[in-house]
Amino acid sequence: MTSTGFAYAHPWTYSAIMRVLHWGEFETRYSAVAEHVPAGASVVDLCCGDAALAARIPQAKSYLGLDANQRFIDHAKRRGIDARLWDARTMPIPQADIVVIQSSLYQFHPEDADLVRKAFAAATQRVVIAEPVVNWATHGKPWQKFLARRMTRVSGRKFDFRHDEATLEALVRTLPSRRVDMKRAGRDLVIAIDK
């Protein structure tokens, strides 16, 4: 039995599942994130998954996707995207104008605040967070909750916690930010935290 959920078996499986979970609103989150990337900015995308953001920020000067899943990294590289194997739990975050983290904080809870603090330290302009606040894992029917938790396992870890708007706002307010912008985009809350 594999210890990582089938959502992460292949970038195509992952993309198909994301399209189902964000039915009719798949592009909404990416557009909301892209709005916070200024022209000429360098971007580091933490836990980048299939690096789908890369094609949606043509205004950026550079994009670097970081993820612990070798298949995702190989797939991104084959598409000409700069992507590297990286472990958020043990490795430093490279400096960039904009540091992005999408749909990934729940995996690190309750240490996700540390990850956000490190992202804030690594960003020279802004951190952009997109985190789902409406989830199958918490809002779904019993079979949807079961499926969502099972298919999003990583290395044997199952994640029961999911953020809502209040927990995300509490997390972000701990940062010494000059300006915080929060907006719902489909199932996600998109938060831009300026230095």
Ligand X SMILES: C[S@@+](CC[C@H](N)C(=O)[O-])C[C@H]1O[C@@H](n2cnc3c(N)ncnc32)[C@H](O)[C@@H]1O
Q: Which is nearer to ligand X, 69 or 138 (CB)?
A: 69
Q: Point out which span in 54-62, 83-91, 141-149, 166-174 binds ligand X (CB under 6 A).
A: 83-91
Among all residues, whose Cβ is closest to ligand X?
Answer: 49
CA distance 168 to 189: 8
Residue 135 makes contact with ligand X by CB under 6 A:
no
Q: Which is nearer to ligand X, 42 or 107 (CB)?
A: 107
Residue 79 makes contact with ligand X by CB under 6 A:
no
Of residues 92 through 131, those in contact with ligand X by CB under 6 A are 102-104, 107
Answer for which of 17, 21, 48, 172 binds ligand X (CB under 6 A) is 48
Answer for which of 21, 54, 76, 86 binds ligand X (CB under 6 A) is 86
Alpha carbon 133 to its chain centroid, in Å, reads 13
Q: Can you give the binding site for ligand X, defined by CB under 6 A?
A: 8, 18, 47-49, 52, 67-69, 72, 86-89, 102-104, 107, 154
